[in-house]
C-alpha cells in the first residue's frame, strides 16, 4: 500500500516543483522528466510503463474516488493531493482530468545497441522529421494496434513523451519500444546492417504499390514529415512504396498512411 497521501496547500511547495507551469513542451528535457496526464495513461504507466514513475499529483475530488482503485500499484511513490483550483494554478492550465504524474526517462542507448536488444522485431516504424504531437501519438497508437513492434524517431522529430503525445497514443508511448535521436543516414545504415528492408512511403506515381510489393521478413516503414514528405535522397535509400489513392488529394496524413501500411502487412503475415 502507498504511504499516506501528502496534502499540498500552497502553489510554491518545493515538493511539487516538477508540476509547476507545465505546457506542451516545457517539462520534457527538464532533468529527463515528463508529464503523464489522465486516468487511462496513468493506469498504463502504473501497470506496464517502461519508465520510472516518480510521483503523482491528484485533485482532491479525484483522490477520493480514484486513489483506492490504484493504491496497490502506487507502492511508496509520493502522492500529492491539492484542491482543483490549486492544481490548476500550479500546472498553469485547467487540469480537467485531475490526474498528473511525473515520469523519468532512462539514459539514451546508442541506436546499434538498441537494435541489438530487439532481435525478434520484424516490423519497425521509422519517423523522419515528425513534428506534430498529435501525429506522434497517433503513430504510436496505430503501431501498437496493427503490428508495429518498435519505433525509431530521428533527432528532428518531436519527443513522443510530451504529455499530449502520450495522451493521443492512449498510453502506448509508455511501453512500445522506441529510440529517439540520430540522423536519417545513420538510421538507415543501422537498419540495413541489421537485415531490415527499407520501404520509403511516398505518393510518387512511379513508386511500387503497397499491395504488389513482396513482404520482406524484416521491414522498416519509413515515414516523412507532413507536407514535404521524404527527400529524394531518403526515398532512394530504400524501396519507394505508394498507397494507391484517387487524384482528389495529393497525400494522406502520416498516421493514416502508417495504419494502412501496417494493416496490409498484418493481413499477409
SS3 call for 21: coil
* Per-residue pLDDT at 227: 83
Environment class of 87 (CB within 10 Å of its CB; exposed 0-12, middle 13-18, buried 19+): buried
* Per-residue pLDDT at 29: 61
Cα 155 from Cα 140, distance rounded (Å): 17
Name beta bridge partners: 202.
Answer: none
Cα 215 from Cα 218, distance rounded (Å): 9
Q: Which residues contact 74 (CB under 8 A, 6 or more apart)?
A: 2, 46, 56
Environment class of 186 (CB within 10 Å of its CB; exposed 0-12, middle 13-18, buried 19+): middle
* Per-residue pLDDT at 268: 81
Domains of the chain: 6-104 (3.30.1330.30), 111-268 (3.40.1280.10)
- Per-residue pLDDT tens digits for 138-179: 999 999 999 999 999 999 999 999 989 999 999 999 999 999
CB of 52 closer than 8 Å to CB of 103 = yes
Positions in the chain whose pLDDT score sits under 70: 1-3, 24-29, 269
CB of 143 closer than 8 Å to CB of 169 = no
Cα 158 from Cα 153, distance rounded (Å): 8
Q: Which residues contact 168 (CB under 8 A, 6 or more apart)?
A: 133, 134, 136, 137, 138, 141
CA-CA-CA-CA torsion sign (182, 254, 125, 169):
positive
* Per-residue pLDDT at 1: 42
Taking Cα atoms as reference points, which of 244, 246, 257 lies closest to residue 210?
Answer: 244
Compute CA distances 76 → 3, 105, 183, whole Å.
6, 19, 40
pTM: 0.92
Grid cell of 136 as nine digits: 506522434
Cell 504529455 belongs to 163
Q: Which helix (H) or strand (E) holds 209?
A: strand 208-209
Amino acid at each position: 500500500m502507498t504511504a499516506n497521501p501528502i496534502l499540498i496547500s500552497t502553489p510554491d511547495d518545493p515538493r511539487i516543483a516538477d508540476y509547476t507551469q507545465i505546457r506542451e513542451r516545457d517539462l520534457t528535457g527538464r532533468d529527463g522528466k515528463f508529464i503523464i496526464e489522465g486516468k487511462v495513461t496513468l493506469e498504463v504507466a502504473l501497470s506496464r510503463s517502461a519508465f520510472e514513475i516518480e510521483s503523482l499529483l491528484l485533485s482532491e475530488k479525484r483522490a477520493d474516488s480514484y486513489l483506492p482503485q490504484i493504491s496497490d500499484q502506487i507502492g511508496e511513490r509520493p502522492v500529492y493531493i491539492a484542491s482543483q483550483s490549486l492544481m490548476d494554478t500550479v500546472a498553469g492550465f485547467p487540469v480537467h482530468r485531475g490526474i498528473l504524474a511525473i515520469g523519468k526517462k532512462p539514459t539514451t542507448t546508442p541506436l546499434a545497441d538498441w537494435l541489438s536488444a530487439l532481435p525478434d522485431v520484424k516490423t519497425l516504424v521509422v519517423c523522419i522529421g515528425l513534428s506534430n504531437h498529435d501525429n506522434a501519438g497517433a503513430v504510436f497508437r496505430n503501431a501498437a494496434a496493427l503490428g508495429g513492434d518498435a519505433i525509431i524517431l530521428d533527432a528532428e522529430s518531436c519527443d513522443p513523451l510530451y504529455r499530449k503525445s502520450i495522451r493521443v497514443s492512449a498510453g502506448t508511448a509508455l511501453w512500445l519500444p522506441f529510440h529517439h535521436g540520430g540522423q536519417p543516414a545513420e538510421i538507415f545504415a543501422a537498419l540495413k546492417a541489421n537485415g531490415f528492408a527499407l520501404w520509403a512511403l511516398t505518393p510518387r506515381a512511379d513508386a511500387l504499390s503497397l499491395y504488389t510489393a513482396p513482404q520482406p521478413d524484416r521491414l522498416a516503414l519509413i515515414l516523412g514529415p507532413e507536407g514535404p514528405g521524404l527527400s529524394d535522397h531518403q526515398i532512394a535509400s530504400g524501396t519507394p512504396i505508394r498507397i494507391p489513392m484517387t487524384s482528389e488529394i495529393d497525400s494522406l496524413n502520416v498516421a493514416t498512411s502508417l495504419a494502412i501500411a501496417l494493416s496490409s502487412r498484418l493481413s499477409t503475415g
